[in-house]
Amino acid sequence: MKPKYNIGDKVWYATTRSVERWLTCPCCCGDRFVTVITGDGKQHQIMCQECNTGGWEDHAVGSKKYYEYETTSREVTINRIEVQGDKTDYGTVDYYRIEESDLFLSKDEADARCTILIQERNKAELDRALGKHDHKRTWAWNTAYYRKKIKEAHRDIEYYTAKLNAAPKKKDEAV
C-alpha cells in the first residue's frame, strides 16, 4: 500500500490541546458539604465526596477540575513513515506518531477535523467531570461511615480527657 504523503511533505496536523478548567461541583453546588437524611429522619451534613481532593489534605473544595480542548492545527513536515498492513502512521520532529486520518493538505480541512475532535473530547471530559467520584460507595455508606467516625472521635475525646484529668495538676503532686 502506497502512503498518501511522502517524507518531506508539508501537511497540516489536526490536533488539540487541553486547558485546565474548574466547574462548580454538581453534587454540593459549591457548598463543600451535602445533607443526608437517614431512615430515622435525622439530617446529617457530610463532606462532599464528589469534590473531595483526598490524600493527606482530605477536604472538599466545592469545584471539580476538568479539561477543555482547543484547536491547535499545525503545519508539520513529515520525516518518518511507518506502514503496518493497511495502517500508515507518520512522524515529524515534534510528533512521533500521527495517524493518517489527522493529516491534511489544507488548514481548513485540518480545522474541520479539529472541530470534530474537540466535540468528542469535550463531551467525554465533561461526562467524566460530572460523573460520580466513587461509584462503589453510596451516600448511605458515606453517612454511616462518618457517623461511626464521629462516635469514635467522641469516645477518644472522653478517654483522653479522663487520662488528662487523672494526671497530677501540680509539679509537686507527681508520684
pTM of the full structure: 0.55
Task: Please return the burial class of 68, using the count of CB atoms within 10 Å of its CB with bins 0-12, 13-18 and 19+.
Answer: middle
Which grid coordinates belong to 71? 484547536
CA atoms within 13 A on the CB side of 7: 6
What pLDDT shows up at residue 57? 64
- Residues 39-65 pLDDT 10s: 888 888 888 877 877 766 668 888 888
- Residues 124-133 pLDDT 10s: 888 777 665 5
Residues 6+ apart with CB under 8 A from 140: 36, 38
- Would you kindly state where each structural domain of the chain is located, as residue ranges? 10-168
> Which one-letter DSSP state was computed for residue 167?
S
The rounded distance, in Å, linking the Cα atoms of 42 and 104 is: 62
